[in-house]
Amino acid sequence: MRRRTLVRTAVAACALSLMATVAPAATADPAGATVTPRAAAGASHDDDDDEDRRSYKRVGYFTQWGVYGRNYQVKDMDKTGQAAKLTHINYAFGNVSPEGKCYMPSTLGEGDPWADYVRPLDAANSVDGVADDWNQPLAGNFNQLVELKAKYPGLKALISLGGWSWSTHFSNAALTPESRKALVSSCIDLYIKGNLPVDGTRGGVGAAAGVFDGIDVDWEWPGSSGEDDTPYRPEDKKNFTALVKEFRTQLDAYAKSEAVRTGKKAKHYDLTAFVPTAPAKIDAGFEVRKIMRDLDWVNLQGYDFHVSGEATTNQQSALKAKNDFSVDQTVNDWLKRGAPARKLVVGLPFYGQGWTGVTGGGDGLNQPAARPAPATWQAGYEDYKALKKLVDSGTYKVHRDKKNGHAWIFDGNTLWTYDDPQVLRAKTEYIRDEDLGGAMIWSLDGDTSDGELMTSIDRGLKRR
């Protein structure tokens, strides 16, 4: 995501860019088409909590820039109880340079080494309760991830590459075998081997080794439009397949070389991707059967089905919907194209989309609106924790479509569509019933201080 001229402006830009990941087309393909049965490949039904936790992925995005305005630190994943319930943390985001390499510049809006590994944390904000000093080569968020993983040994961290605004150079970088090899090699060097740029006493060869356990490719979007400055071409579809293959090949080769060097069993590095809900975008950019051979799983876009920039209020993350985007439609479309059910991880929002100046009466849904609703960081985009306060204040009424699995709140003028614990219970039941791979969250900093939404997901995926 492009970000950070000022903290508030930067966070707002990130929220806006996420909302635009797929602004729905004027007409959507019908949801709920007939598909092949969900195969329970690799599904575990052991009642033991540890075995159950391994059965379903619980992937949470941690935003690099959230440590500023939102003041959401790595330690907060521990304090809220989220870390104990997660299997994977996706660190958002890593950038790709105009030369087609993973890089970490100090250029405003293009990289933030200060947040990543330079910034010293005091004892109060450190996972282990010990303040950083200026002599250690690794500090910032990366060091806190190391401390968090030490406290929760089963927890893994992946670097997520790209995002809405930092997908700009993917198409060019994936264009040839040589450019793909160079891109993948640079990403492994920077994030897996941990060879960070030197910044004072920070960084250096191997400084971040062990921070990341894999790579998440968040190219938005191969073969179709993304942000205005992001080029795309028809060849992206086959080039994305080849890029995924190159990541898998080089990650496996590095794991084997490390095993030879250390005499230990070769580590498996996870390789995942964030993928769209719109059928046209799936078909333009993804050879589904081929990429699924090399990806451990894909994180499905399960939100932004409708966004606050539209002139009419609507659902942004419904479980099911007739003739519209929905979670079920997204799952069906990926299954129809050959994706294994257990490699589909459903995206869940910890935020809402909102409109104000809503007219037409009733419960406010599917009515004309004047503009995006005022919000903390970006008009039309608000964290769940803030929406919960609106509900608790009594000024908003909660409305539910229980059949289709979504909720919204309305005060007669302003409407917010969002997921609350009741909606998440329905979605986790769906994940279990359909033998899917688990749940992904964008983003962890939207939850309450006691991790209300993460607890709902965890309980839902364990419930029999």
Alpha carbon distances (Å) from 6 to 10, 12, 93, 324: 6, 10, 18, 37
Q: What stretch of H or E contains 58?
A: strand 57-63
| 3-class SS of residue 373 | coil
Cβ(335)–Cβ(35) below 8 Å: yes
Tell me the three state secondary structure of residue 159.
strand
d(CA 169, CA 101): 9
Which tokens hold the place of 325? 């985007």
- Burial environment of residue 188 by CB neighbours within 10 A (0 to 12, 13 to 18, 19 or more): buried
Closest CA to 8 of 81, 66, 82: 66
Q: Residue 318: which of 358, 349, 273, 357 has the closest Cα?
A: 349
CA distances, 353 to each of 175, 451, 457 (Å):
36, 20, 20
Residues sharing a CB contact under 8 Å with residue 246, sequence separation 6 or more, in sequence order: 180, 181, 183, 184
Distance separating the N- and C-terminal Cα atoms of the chain? 39
* Count of Cβ atoms closer than 10 Å to residue 420 Cβ: 21
Q: Decide if 66 contacts 445 (C-beta within 8 A).
A: yes
Query: Could you tell me how far CA 405 lies from the centroid of its own chain?
Result: 21
Strand, coil or helix: 39: coil
Compute the distance between CA of residue 144 and CA of residue 138 in angstroms, rounded to an integer: 9
> What is the 8-class DSSP label of residue 25?
P
Half-sphere exposure of residue 100: CA atoms within 13 angstroms, side-chain side: 17
Sign, CA dihedral 262-264-265-269, equals: negative
- Residue 220 known to be catalytic: yes
Q: Which residue among 110, 220, 382, 434 is the active-site one?
A: 220
Instruction: Please count the other Cβ atoms lying within 10 Å of the Cβ belonging to residue 143.
Output: 26
Report how far apart, in Å, the C-alpha atoms of 76 and of each of 3, 73, 212, 223 are: 22, 5, 19, 37
The answer to whether 422 and 391 have CB atoms below 8 angstroms apart is: no
Q: Which helix (H) or strand (E) holds 20?
A: none
Cβ atoms within 10 Å of 107's Cβ, excluding its own: 10
The residues assigned a catalytic role are 220
